[in-house]
Amino acid sequence: GNIGQPIIAELIKKGYAPRAVVRKIKPNHEWDAGKVEQVIVENGADVEALAKAFQGADRVFSLSPLVENLVELGTATVEA
């Protein structure tokens, strides 16, 4: 989106190969070139799925959308 994509672009420029947690995998040539791994998590409140997606990561950037269950999404990310 408007925030995640520029952050990933900046991480690629700095030599990182970030992982993006997405609802659906979308073709992205810049991400492919930067070796961005897209991991599907359909339900952002699913602690188990998030924990699996975060495995091996040493840092996480989280931005919850402005939705009704905003607190639940944020809490699940922290728990994962």
pLDDT in tens, the chain (80 residues): 789 999 999 999 999 999 999 999 999 999 999 999 999 999 999 999 999 999 999 999 998 888 999 999 999 999 99
- Radius of gyration for the alpha carbons in the chain, expressed in angstroms and rounded: 13
CA torsion through residues 78, 70, 54, 16, sign: negative
Q: Which residues contact 26 (CB under 8 A, 6 or more apart)?
A: 38
Check: CB of residue 36 under 8 Å from CB of residue 66: no
The structure's pTM equals 0.86
